[in-house]
Chain A
Amino acid sequence: MSPTAAAGSSNRALRFFEATIVKKAVVAVTGLVLFGFVTGHMLGNLQIFLGPERLNAYAAFLKSNLELLWGARITLLISVFAHIFFTIQLWQLKNQARPVAYVKKVNSHSSAASRTMYYSGPVILAFVVYHLLHFTVGAVHPHFSETDVYSNVVYGFLQLPVALSYMVAVGLLCMHLSHGIASIPQTLGFNHPVHTPKIKAAARVIATLYFLGYASIPVGVMTGIIRLSSMSL
């Protein structure tokens, strides 16, 4: 009798996803997809500084190609689902793995971002839901227009609590990214004494830039740099 456990499930695919390393790799790959979306979304949104025509035309273009739109939406949806599904499994494992907590525990060598992934994630998810209801569906938007994305944004961010909570959420998102981006190569098996520190530094720079990029929109609205155009009035 072998004292060590043999493999779990006999089904090859199921067995593949049983391993935490594979679960984590799925989280990394889907994270990468979502990072791609966050990048495109930011670049698209920044067109707001170019005026209402430009942004509304961009929005109309996105909506005009249904295959592309739903293709992207389905990919994102699957990614979000898988990202969360496997993270929940890993989180459950974490709780099982240390049933008795330390009376005193110091975590001084790791970043706050890395230790709060399990908490920043759900907050970001809640924000995404709100954000969709706010700007995409319009259910919680007081002045929603199907076509005028530009004024939706301006009206939305003229409400101070909305703008502030948006900035907090984006801050958390970027914190999540700063650990997430640096972590992807490690999870997928790449670590190098020269490149890994560079990747870590780059992840911090990217996270900061993205925060500035996203935050610039509500800040622009509140400071009056982005204003309602006469057309929309």
Chain B
Amino acid sequence: MQLDSRIPSGPIEKAWEKTRFEMKLVNPANKRKFTVIVVGTGLGGGAAAASLGELGYNVKCFCFQDSPRRAHSIAAQGGINAAKNYQNDGDSIYRLFYDTVKGGDFRAREHNVYRLAQNSVSIIDQCVAQGVPFAREYGGLLANRSFGGAQVSRTFYARGQTGQQLLLGAYQALEAQIDSGRVTMYPRTEMLDLVVIDGKARGIITRNLVTGKIESHVADAVVLASGGYGNVYYLSTNAKGSNCTAIWRAHKRGAAFANPCFTQIHPTCIPVSGEYQSKLTLMSESLRNDGRIWVPLQKGDKRPASQIPENERDYYLERRYPSFGNLVPRDVASRAAKAVCDEGRGVGETGLGVYLDFAESISRLGRGAIEERYGNLFEMYERITGENPYEMPMRIYPAIHYTMGGLWVDYQLMSSIPGLFVLGEANFSDHGANRLGASALMQGLSDGYFIIPYTLGNYLASNKLAKVDAGAPEVRNVLSEVENSVKRLLSIKGKRTVTSFHRELGKIMWDHCGMARNAEGLKQAIRQIRALREEFWRDVNVPGSGDDLNQQLENAGRVADFFELGELMCVDALERNESCGGHFREEFQTDEGEAMRDDEHYQYVAAWEYMGPDAPHQLNKEPLNFEYVHPAQRSYK
């Protein structure tokens, strides 16, 4: 496979402008003659569908939820970064670019990141114009906060519901286009395959989740914005419906999958309470601004927190990282929590938890101040755990939160299949091996509002696309393959439920391909996943039929894909003999237990190519060049 990243030449500051100028344009009168499919309605897909509709394209937009407003972007709490420098504290596009490349542990493409930082400025303008109610100062100007260990205040926020408000902005713009008739919305419709004709993406096969009908939709280009694949771990902060099916099936039709093992673990989630646990709940990272993280000094100390005296507590982040303390980046904080729990010093019933203690802040600032800052979060914690965090420390533990990996895309966000574009968390492009806080929203909107409207036009204008009919044999073949795979799932009628398989897969992934990985564990995980997958196809029980609303069937298809993706993640993690960002290989660490990168051998994007059901994936490498930010070991000491 030939990977052409289409990175423009010349200075990075002018790269995007130059690219836009060199792009071919679609005549305004011709835009409505092009049909574009958008899958997913989160920040990337929603913004893309709305913007493409505004431009005059004929857009067909799909989501599996009942409404485009429910996409999981809605759950992002903290905020969105932008290099506005409204606080006059020395921020700039270059600084945001630098921080993001460094935060990504030098595994992201510089040009993509630079463009992201440039677009961040327009995103805030766009969202304010749409009526997103960002936090304001008394003077009426926008408020900012510092987030996730950044040294400048560049994060814009709408209480603890920034993702919700940004998504509603995109959703409302999308609904306006639906009303105007330029976008046709297909809610409760799941993409189950991609149609590739003459090497180009020309349509998708979907299942109507209410009637069960399997249908084909043809188009001139397909845009996937279907989110991340964190649910491969079963327990994650993702929504229950978040899945990898759209990108995985596109991968099996020829789209390379890049850096699948790069997953992010969020350090402040509410710990697991029992076997029945269905998902994990994130507590905003902002809590680390005023909370102190600690565990008992002694192993197996089962005393309640209030009875452990100060000198028998280990504030391990403050001890190990004196300059950043409790505010070290997510991957560092998560690994440190795992380390103390592995030593047997974890707290709570399961021993998988550390304290996040507000006692000191409450006595210093008063309960009122803490309530004003974190009231909602404290309430939510109490609702879920039944414990009052004003009186006893919170218990937190890391959880899977975001996947930096995804379908490989070039600078114009096109995958290795011409005509297939991938946006947001579904692609791999901007965060390298670790994503900084408040950057996911930025990337989704940048891709959807400010990149795809140009690059898609360029593709349509520079390619002669033959007309495709839904009845074409290529389309009908894929359709019948999908019908057969649905029938196959329904015909097994074994003994185990879909969820029980998913939970077991998740445990394998978390144990061996989670916060810390090693070659032995990964090899074992691959064996276990294969065996479990084989059992799944022999013994899964999918009740009901395919002719109506069947949530078990929907889930079964998604879990079947998670098996294959999970295996590839382990293969990728095994192949990458270094530690970087969220990928921590135990064999590759410094004497102090910090991640050790190997730039000489692994400064590349691992783009995996599907070679068929029984053949191993083939690795393609896109080398990464750092001309502007020079790789160094990240230090937060």
Interface residues of A, Cβ cutoff 8 Å to B: 1-4
Tell me, in angstroms, the Cα distance from A4 to B180 when the chains sit together. 9
Asked if B181 is an interface residue, CB under 8 A from chain A, the answer is yes
Q: Which chain A residues border B179 with CB–CB below 8 Å?
A: 2-4
Kindly provide the distance from the CB of A3 to the nearest chain B CB, expressed in whole angstroms. Answer: 6
Kindly provide the distance from the CB of A196 to the nearest chain B CB, expressed in whole angstroms. Answer: 23
Tell me, in angstroms, the Cα distance from A2 to B178 when the chains sit together. 7
Kindly provide the distance from the CB of B505 to the nearest chain A CB, expressed in whole angstroms. Answer: 40
Kindly provide the distance from the CB of B577 to the nearest chain A CB, expressed in whole angstroms. Answer: 54
Q: Assuming A2-B179, A3-B179, A4-B179, what are 5 further A-B pairs, CB within 8 angstroms?
A: A1-B181, A2-B180, A2-B181, A3-B178, A3-B181
Q: Which chain B residues border A2 with CB–CB below 8 Å?
A: 179-181
Tell me, in angstroms, the Cα distance from A1 to B180 when the chains sit together. 7
Tell me, in angstroms, the Cα distance from A4 to B181 when the chains sit together. 10
Kindly provide the distance from the CB of A134 to the nearest chain B CB, expressed in whole angstroms. Answer: 57
Q: Which chain B residues border A1 with CB–CB below 8 Å?
A: 181
Kindly provide the distance from the CB of A2 to the nearest chain B CB, expressed in whole angstroms. Answer: 5
Tell me, in angstroms, the Cα distance from A58 to B476 when the chains sit together. 90
Tell me, in angstroms, the Cα distance from A4 to B185 when the chains sit together. 13
Interface residues of B, Cβ cutoff 8 Å to A: 178-181
Q: Which chain B residues border A4 with CB–CB below 8 Å?
A: 179
Tell me, in angstroms, the Cα distance from A132 to B495 when the chains sit together. 77
5 tightest Cβ-Cβ pairs between the two chains A and B: A2-B179, A4-B179, A1-B181, A2-B181, A3-B178
5 A-B residue pairings within 8 Å (CB atoms): A1-B181, A2-B179, A2-B180, A2-B181, A3-B178
Nearest chain A residue, comparing its CB with the CB of B178: A3
Q: Which chain A residues border B178 with CB–CB below 8 Å?
A: 3
Q: Which chain A residues border B180 with CB–CB below 8 Å?
A: 2
Nearest chain B residue, comparing its CB with the CB of A4: B179
Nearest chain A residue, comparing its CB with the CB of B180: A2
Tell me, in angstroms, the Cα distance from A108 to B179 when the chains sit together. 38
Tell me, in angstroms, the Cα distance from A2 to B179 when the chains sit together. 5
Tell me, in angstroms, the Cα distance from A3 to B179 when the chains sit together. 6
Kindly provide the distance from the CB of A31 to the nearest chain B CB, expressed in whole angstroms. Answer: 35
Tell me, in angstroms, the Cα distance from A129 to B180 when the chains sit together. 53
Kindly provide the distance from the CB of A6 to the nearest chain B CB, expressed in whole angstroms. Answer: 11
Kindly provide the distance from the CB of A96 to the nearest chain B CB, expressed in whole angstroms. Answer: 23
Tell me, in angstroms, the Cα distance from A158 to B401 when the chains sit together. 79
Q: Which chain A residues border B181 with CB–CB below 8 Å?
A: 1-3
Tell me, in angstroms, the Cα distance from A67 to B71 when the chains sit together. 66
Q: Which chain B residues border A3 with CB–CB below 8 Å?
A: 178-179, 181
Tell me, in angstroms, the Cα distance from A4 to B178 when the chains sit together. 9
Tell me, in angstroms, the Cα distance from A4 to B179 when the chains sit together. 6
Tell me, in angstroms, the Cα distance from A94 to B181 when the chains sit together. 32
Kindly provide the distance from the CB of B95 to the nearest chain A CB, expressed in whole angstroms. Answer: 42
Nearest chain A residue, comparing its CB with the CB of B184: A3
Kindly provide the distance from the CB of B251 to the nearest chain A CB, expressed in whole angstroms. Answer: 34
Tell me, in angstroms, the Cα distance from A3 to B175 when the chains sit together. 10
Tell me, in angstroms, the Cα distance from A3 to B181 when the chains sit together. 8
Tell me, in angstroms, the Cα distance from A1 to B179 when the chains sit together. 8
Kindly provide the distance from the CB of A65 to the nearest chain B CB, expressed in whole angstroms. Answer: 57
Kindly provide the distance from the CB of A110 to the nearest chain B CB, expressed in whole angstroms. Answer: 25
Kindly provide the distance from the CB of A7 to the nearest chain B CB, expressed in whole angstroms. Answer: 14
Nearest chain A residue, comparing its CB with the CB of B175: A4
Tell me, in angstroms, the Cα distance from A20 to B68 when the chains sit together. 28
Kindly provide the distance from the CB of A56 to the nearest chain B CB, expressed in whole angstroms. Answer: 64
Tell me, in angstroms, the Cα distance from A139 to B178 when the chains sit together. 64
Tell me, in angstroms, the Cα distance from A1 to B181 when the chains sit together. 5
Tell me, in angstroms, the Cα distance from A2 to B185 when the chains sit together. 12
Kindly provide the distance from the CB of B29 to the nearest chain A CB, expressed in whole angstroms. Answer: 21
Kindly provide the distance from the CB of A5 to the nearest chain B CB, expressed in whole angstroms. Answer: 11
Tell me, in angstroms, the Cα distance from A1 to B184 when the chains sit together. 10
Kindly provide the distance from the CB of A24 to the nearest chain B CB, expressed in whole angstroms. Answer: 26
Tell me, in angstroms, the Cα distance from A67 to B264 when the chains sit together. 83
Tell me, in angstroms, the Cα distance from A45 to B209 when the chains sit together. 68
Tell me, in angstroms, the Cα distance from A1 to B178 when the chains sit together. 9
Kindly provide the distance from the CB of B466 to the nearest chain A CB, expressed in whole angstroms. Answer: 28
Kindly provide the distance from the CB of A48 to the nearest chain B CB, expressed in whole angstroms. Answer: 58
Tell me, in angstroms, the Cα distance from A95 to B181 when the chains sit together. 33
Nearest chain B residue, comparing its CB with the CB of A1: B181
Tell me, in angstroms, the Cα distance from A12 to B212 when the chains sit together. 45
Tell me, in angstroms, the Cα distance from A80 to B170 when the chains sit together. 47
Kindly provide the distance from the CB of B50 to the nearest chain A CB, expressed in whole angstroms. Answer: 16
Tell me, in angstroms, the Cα distance from A39 to B179 when the chains sit together. 50
Tell me, in angstroms, the Cα distance from A3 to B61 when the chains sit together. 15
Tell me, in angstroms, the Cα distance from A71 to B52 when the chains sit together. 62
Kindly provide the distance from the CB of B171 to the nearest chain A CB, expressed in whole angstroms. Answer: 15
Kindly provide the distance from the CB of B54 to the nearest chain A CB, expressed in whole angstroms. Answer: 16
Kindly provide the distance from the CB of B359 to the nearest chain A CB, expressed in whole angstroms. Answer: 34
